[in-house]
Amino acid sequence: MAQFESDLDEQLQFATQTILLTDRRLLATESRRRLTVASANEAEFRCQIPLADIQDIRCHEQNGLGSLKLLGHDRLLETWNYTSTQHPAAQALVEAFRGLRQTGDAEKSPTTAAGVCPSCGGVLESGRNVCNACAPVAAAPAARSLWRLSRFARPQWPLVILGLCLTVATAAAGLIPTYLTMPLIDKVLIPYQSGHAVNFGLVPWYLGGLLAAAVMTWLLGWGRTFVMATVSERISADLRNQTYAHLQRLSLDFFGGKRTGDLISRVGTDTERICYFLSVNLLEFANDILMITLTAVLLLSIDPVMALFSLLPFPLIAWLIQRVRLRLRHGFARGSAAWGEMMNVLADTIPGIRVVKAFAQERREVARFSHSNQHVLDANQRVNRLWATFGPAVTMLTDGGLLVIWAFGAWRVAHQQMTVGVLTAFVAYITRLYLRLDSMSRMLASSQRAAASTHRIFEILDRVPSVAEPVRPIQPGRVAGRIELRDVAFKYGSRPVIRGVNLGIEPGEMIGLVGPSGAGKSTLVNLVCRFYDVTAGAVLIDGTDVRSFPVEAYRQNIGIVLQEPFLFYGSIAENIAYGR
């Protein structure tokens, strides 16, 4: 019903023991023995204690070392030691036992350990109900993820509307040359070839129309590209600014669970991918949609029967898109994560290059980077294999559709149901339509890549700071400096660090905190600075809870020298004056 593995023996040496809780007894293996619930045989357990003999099970963890104690009615029955990584699983076993005693069901524990994932017992990040490992892999649909970018486009609506108008005009102008070829062929070229009298005075008008349409298409296309590129760059710049500003507002516990390279990858690489999607891919997609729509209208007006034949590849292409869409999305998400891991290696190694060289670990770091780079390559290759199948399949279907049009059109010309000029224009329009359709299918990869990047950006923007601003803030004003810790307790995830601390420090006093590593000295300073909020109790400054102060106004009253000094790029004077 519940399982726990201790990883330390009685002498605090690394060794594995398996403890199983059933509905009748508690079982434990010999040291260095590991069993699972599925493969366990009760005869293999050295310790078998009926639940009736157990009064309680308690676990305690401090300074990286934990103990699970089995209490009888009048004595201590058993003790197992473990490292702090096993503490959530120990808590889960305790809760399962208490749920079994109180409700008869280990699954219906009366309480849930704070900060413990209900699925795996892992440590939770602040404000989450399930750990990253157990969180659902499926993200929001690509369209929904990309639609969330629309709020960044609101300040640019005038330019967006102008860009859409230019896109419509460009698409319409692009259809004119093909339309002019019909009378040029039917009224000039074919009659001339057949020996009939031809009015060549029409030719300059047709050629002039073709030239004017080409120039107009170029000018409108230039304006459309410039306007939409400007919009996308402004949206991307706003997205980067808001993402970075939100990162600055997030609490330290968020950064404790993230690696620098991954965050840099999100703010830099992912926003750049979104920018490219908005400025190039989305613009082309909108143009393709308009061209296909206008071309379809023209085809229906020219010959409805031939137009219906031209639509034969569409259902098959739609089916292919549906088949590969989610696989592409997941593939690009894996690629983005692998890229972030590679950036993590760079972010670790370059600032620590002195350490690398001091211990002559250059080859090791090169191998570590190559390993991360191989993950990027493998993730991208999986996408490439999928795309290498999809792209040619779409091309084959459109080529097949064009072949059907040629065959059916030739038959209709032979039976004098269509002129050669109309067939030529029809084939030209169909070719353009299929090219646009092929381009739209390639948009699928770009949209899924952009959706994966958008999801990674909004993972940051949706995060709420754990150190929240007060609803009714009290301005600290001039702080006298009296510090009081009142029954303060604090946990990192599910691991308690300090509990029941009471301390008063008067203005002007010099106080030194002394204790072993991990006792909570730095944690107390972090709580006073409000880098974290207390789990229980309160930190008061001049008699006011620090959670009542605006964070920025409160910290402006604090002078601090950190354990690990950090120098920003710039002069020494600029670093000294940084806080002002």
- More confident call, 216 vs 84: 216
Mean pLDDT of the residues in the chain: 78
pLDDT in tens, 406-427: 888 788 878 777 777 777 777 7
CA pair distance 306, 413, nearest whole angstrom: 12
CATH code: domain 2-103 is 2.30.29.30
Question: Above pLDDT 90, what percent of the chain?
Answer: 1
Mean pLDDT for 35-52 is: 64
Mean pLDDT for 325-340 is: 79
End-to-end CA distance of the chain: 58
Cβ contact 20:26 at 8 Å: yes
**36 has pLDDT over 70:** no
Cβ contact 281:161 at 8 Å: no
CA dist 223 → 172, 187, 216 (Å) = 15, 35, 11
CA pair distance 540, 525, nearest whole angstrom: 13
How would residue 43 be classed by pLDDT, with cut points 50, 70 and 90?
Answer: low
Would you report the helix, strand and coil content of the chain in percent, each value rounded to 5?
60, 15, 30
Mean pLDDT for 230-246 is: 85
Cβ contact 33:17 at 8 Å: yes
Report the interhelical angle of 420-461 vs 313-349 (nearest 10°): 40
Query: Do 2-103 and 142-461 fold alike per CATH?
Result: no
**122 has pLDDT over 50:** no
Q: What CATH class has 483-576?
A: alpha beta
pLDDT for the residue 539: 92
List 424's β-bridge partners, or say none.
none
**246 has pLDDT over 80:** yes
Cβ contact 522:490 at 8 Å: no
Mean pLDDT for 72-86 is: 86
What are the residue boundaries of the structural domains of the chain, listed by start?
2-103, 142-461, 483-576
pLDDT for the residue 532: 87
Mean pLDDT for 207-219 is: 86
pLDDT for the residue 361: 84
> Which residues, including other chains, have CB under 8 Å from residue 83's CB and lie 6 or more apart?
7, 8, 64, 65, 66
CATH code: domain 142-461 is 1.20.1560.10
pLDDT in tens, 131-151: 444 444 344 556 677 777 777
Say whether pTM exceeds 0.75.
no
- More confident call, 3 vs 194: 3
Mean pLDDT for 59-87 is: 84
- More confident call, 255 vs 194: 255
How would residue 42 be classed by pLDDT, with cut points 50, 70 and 90?
Answer: low
pLDDT for the residue 141: 59
Mean pLDDT for 170-180 is: 78
Lay out the sheet containing 544-545: strands in order across: 495-505, 483-492, 536-541, 544-545
Q: What angle do CA 487, 488, 493 make, to 5 degrees?
A: 140
Report the interhelical angle of 157-184 vs 420-461 (nearest 10°): 160
